[in-house]
Structure 1
């Protein structure tokens, strides 16, 4: 294939032994080491050797009944990423932090610290949180639109704090004893509907000015928020048509918000189930499905459907649309609810929904040998349904080697991936502008 000017951006979801809810039961999964820095550093270093732009850690703020049937290790993202920053050199470090259950000053300090310690590799996955309210004294969960209104104000405050130090505020004059130019470190004196923050931040401006903003909203509120504020969008879609529609909505939303559409990179979430042959890959998918606990599988899908009880339905049955709550009654993960509703309307069985949810939480599953998987990724990329991919391994130790050692090198040989990191910061890797004009 010919080399292309436009190249894919890639991130790898980490934070557990893999994303398939049954893969931890495989003999070589590494579940015994899932809480260790050693395990996560192994994955991050392999991703860095493969020149993936960033590792990405999602987060869970409650158990959701998972403790009995699936791993419940959810290490705190900023702690883990800070540890990984010391053991890696180039790869970006993206972590989820909630605007509903955090405060802007604390979060701004944490990400400024990570950006300084990593030399400019930090990214913030901005989440409004669809669960966890019982652990933060905010039960019931605030309404969907309220969560996004708070998020918009939260981002405004955080940006002001990161910019409360001018780029040249540090003087460090040992002769005169002047550490910083006082006039270039200013309070923000913010007073809004949700926050009152004086500032300034007690850390100098981060190397990237502020971390790369990542977001994964699929609801109307989420898409509007991303179009206004975010720089990388995690696309959670099934199939080419849905991925293309979402991509176009994000890009047109950016234009409507007065932004360059190229300043937002849309990464389609894909979970590659790989083997030496396509037939073997499909057998692996069936094998992973057999590792799922049926009771837990029903809980997973029921949660995405707004809390529907699926215990009476057989795995080979299709689900009637009539069991679903109305869209206005759903206050959690509206975009994911809409995705599963569409799948039910298409006549998918409960087993289909379980495999989609358990493998990649509703994201696109690619099943095949390395070359056919690479070709599927190229199809999405060339159709401008994605600027790149959020890679979600069912098992890092089982599926990861084929992804890193075969799929990505094929794409690199075809000219779709760079042969070296584009710079030292995450913004440079992704070819995103620096907020201070650099």
Structure 2
């Protein structure tokens, strides 16, 4: 496969910049055995890691988002870590529980609990780094009724042999079961290999459940199946060239969406591929562009394949002594067999003002077909511009050990064209959720 010249040129340019910023021997012997988490500890920098990355050995483990995707190195203290011999252990997770109400004729209401928990084990040698990942979700047990939780205008996957509409499907129990190894040929470039029976190919931004910009929002993005829906793929192999500033990856993976049994693995021979260029030019910024070919992603339409293009950028910054601001912009485009191309756009942001008060918002636009929205057959091949504006607030209590609890509320105004009013009851159907949020924090931070 030939890499697009623009991606290759950008990667080589960033590689040269990284090489000129430090000599190959500048950081030799930087990490001793037993110190593998020293460069991942935000507490050493006032709660936020702000160390400039000049060597592959300096890349913080928290740069990794979901799968092998990158997020900014500046990261809030939201994990628990420890050391067992030469292995560094890290635990992350989020859990939301509350009452979800979506209005209008196609809406519903339900008590739901959503979330994920991840354990990573990392071992560092002078020649490279090994990372093992296990991520689980309670969604099949807590949000599996009727195929998922209510969410107006959401589409994708199926339940009892019928396509889902106005519901977000639950995530599978096994969200990730993966191993990755990065070999350091020098301080400025290396080769990464990622293998996952359940994992994420190099396609799209950090998946929405794991983005800091979405960490206070319990509900999914409407453009999920245009942007990051491959974050649970059952069979992934990725190889990447890595520098301190950039990474160029190619993946082979199983393009089929998970089936309706959310408790098992769904292995298939790799039939899809993707390529992604990621860059972290500063500790506060991360960006990516990617392309993927997804063979037969939907079980109900095995003859339909898709080409997907995504681009995204994320910005992180501290706010005062204890706060944190994160913003992500995403563009996604799908071209499916026999259908016109459809686009999506997202801008989301969260601001933790002081460790107690947090506000968040999301603006979305997606062009969906009548088939996506499960409209009558006469409208199946028409396209419709839909969107949503969501705002929310969370009050976070003082930490209880390494865990912080919060009470939150989220409201959304959805936007549909006049032609869809007969189905949704209004051009602006609304939805909302009140919830409790639980998350780990770095011990000894407040």
Q: TM-score range by the shorter chain?
A: under 0.3
TM-score (norm 1): 0.25
Of Structure 1 and Structure 2, the greater strand share is in: 2
Specify which structure has the bigger relative contact order, considering alpha-carbon pairs within 8 angstroms and separated by 6 or more residues. 1
TM-score (norm 2): 0.25
Of Structure 1 and Structure 2, the greater helix share is in: 1
